[in-house]
Amino acid sequence: MRNLLLLILVLQFSRASAQPPPGYYDQAQGLTGEALRAALADIISPHNVLANSQLWAAFARTDRKPDGSVWDMYSDAPSGTPPYTYQFVVNQCGSYNSEGDCFNREHTFPVSWFGDIAPMNTDLHHLYPTDAWVNQQRGNWPYGTVNSAAWTSQNGGKRGPCAWPGCTGTVFEPIDAYKGDLARAHLYMLTRYMNESASWSSPVQSSGFWLPWVESLLFTWHNQDPVSLKETARNDSVFVIQGNRNPYIDHPEWVASIWGPEATIAEETARLTRAWAVDGLLHIECADCDWHTRFDVLDCTGRVFRTLTLNHGFWEGRIEAKPGIYFLAEEDRAGAIRIKL
């Protein structure tokens, strides 16, 4: 009994030591919108950078199931029996020809989106061990929803045409149980690398801001699949290794504070277009627009709610819309500004 109590105390101490230290998030308190994202970027940057060769040992700590097997979100079946399981070291790829052969390293935010450079390419907050064949089938496609799958994994992951409103092209849809995990990993990336992401070329963001359909997808997945004990434990483990945390696991409410209905319209100073709503009136100013530039107002599903034409770079008028978050997109320019109506 004495040895058992000692073991319990050791386990409790190990977990407590992985929690955020006192004051870790102090500078983020009371903030919303872009000010909150900037504060979080400062808090979680920089971190201890791993070499590629160190990732295998790191996974054995961050992604180990209670039975000792690899916790692979691309093959796991939380409500049933997984089609196959992997053991650390012995099932590490290697070559592979089909699903179930071996596991490798999945960058949920693909390396081609940020140039495959450090520190992003070994950041554990978006890296997971997954079946190599499913990883290959996902490829560099963004996450999305699929109604008519061109390919389906053994645990139900799907690749095919995107069915999410406002989204086109091929996407990969993971199973529902892990959509929130993957959404929060994406949100981490555009927070930890808030400044670097402005120059990235990817199908999900422009100038460091999510495309409207991506923002609505991630926000929905975050809400539908809340933070789990698995995700919390992994965040603790990554913190021990890298020295930084995913704030959206520790504080899920901050997702809404930045990207949801609670977010402010925080001025985006890098842009020459400003939009704000006061007492039901929408105001738009565009310093570098043509005299008669067209803008689309989109809702959170990516549907065009209304099209406006600026007069001498300015527009003011009443928008009959339900309260919520909308996006303002210039007709011939990538990116969008979030506005709260």
Instruction: Note the pLDDT tens digit of each residue in 212-268.
Output: 999 999 999 999 999 999 999 999 999 999 999 999 999 999 999 999 865 644 434
Please give, one letter per residue, the 3-state secondary structure of the chain: CHHHHHHHHHHHHHHHHCCCCCCCCHHHCCCCHHHHHHHHHHHCCCCCCCCHHHHHHHHHHHCECCCCEECCCCCCCCCCCCCCCCECCCCECCCCCCCCCCEEEEECCCHHHCCCCCCHHHCHHHEEEEEHHHHHHHCCCCECCECCCCEECCCCCEEEEECCCCCCCEEEECCHHHHHHHHHHHHHHHHHCCCHHHHCCCCCEECCEECHHHHHHHHHHHHHCCCCHHHHHHHHHHHHHHCCCCHHHHCCHHHHHHHCCCCCCCCCCCCCEEEEEECCEEEEEECCCCCCCEEEEECCCCCEEEEEECECCEEEEECCCCCCEEEEEECCCCCCEEEEC
Question: What residue spans define the domains of the chain?
Answer: 25-259, 273-340
pLDDT value for 311: 80
CA distances from 192 to 152, 189, 272 (A): 32, 5, 24
Contact 15, 236 (CB under 8 A): yes
Across 304-333, average pLDDT = 78
Quickly name the fold that domain 273-340 has.
Immunoglobulin-like (2.60.40)
Lowest mean pLDDT segment, chosen from 18-22, 27-31, 76-80, 89-93: 18-22
CB within 8 Å of 81: residues ≥ 6 apart:
none
Q: What is the pLDDT of residues 267-315, one digit of tens each?
A: 343 346 777 776 667 878 777 777 678 888 887 667 788 888 888 777 8
How far out from the chain centre does Cα 180 lie?
9
Q: Are 265 and 339 in contact (CB under 8 A)?
A: yes
Count of Cβ atoms closer than 10 Å to residue 155 Cβ: 23
| DSSP β-ladder status, 103-107 and 127-131 | antiparallel
pTM of the model: 0.76
Pairing of strands 273-278, 170-173: unpaired
Mean pLDDT over 188-200 rounds to 96
**By percentage, how much of the chain surpasses pLDDT 90?**
70
